[in-house]
Amino acid sequence: MKKILMLLTALTLSTATAHTAVSSITPSLNAVVAAPRAVQLKFSEPIKLRFSTFRVMAIPAGQSVEAAAKLALAEKADSGRLVSLPLSATITAAQLSIALKANLKSGQYVIAWKILSEDGHPVTGQSTFRIK
């Protein structure tokens, strides 16, 4: 009985500490694509869009993906450096489509996010894709 109780406690703790993750991204990581009209993200659980940030930006020459992601997240939603259009949603969602500006040039792009999960924990991440 004691072993079962310990196992249940361990399972409960591991479930309670799990945070929201991006479960799929389109275009996928490092994909080479024609200029997409939007980027799609799906999450392991609903997120609070009002308290989350999503940015898509061309990666400046010579800059690392991580540095470009930080730079993108620091930009205001209407910044001319971003290729993503501002979001107007203020709801909770388990998937999201981010519209992109038209006529994107060839090059490497970063998708950066800072999300607030339903359990209140912030999660940051990034992905990249290349336009032919």
Q: Is 90 helix (H, G, I), strand (E, B) or coil?
A: coil
Name the pairing type of β-strands 122-131 and 107-116. Answer: antiparallel
Q: What is the pLDDT of residues 43-96, one digit of tens each?
A: 998 888 888 899 999 999 999 999 999 999 999 988 999 999 887 665 778 899
Report the C-alpha gap between 8 and 22 in whole angstroms. 27
pTM, rounded to two decimals:
0.82
Beta strands across the sheet bearing 38-48:
22-26, 38-48, 92-99
Q: Is the pLDDT of residue 10 over 50?
A: no
Residue-range domains of the chain with CATH: 19-131 (2.60.40.1220)
Backbone angles phi, psi at 89, to 5 degrees: -80, 145
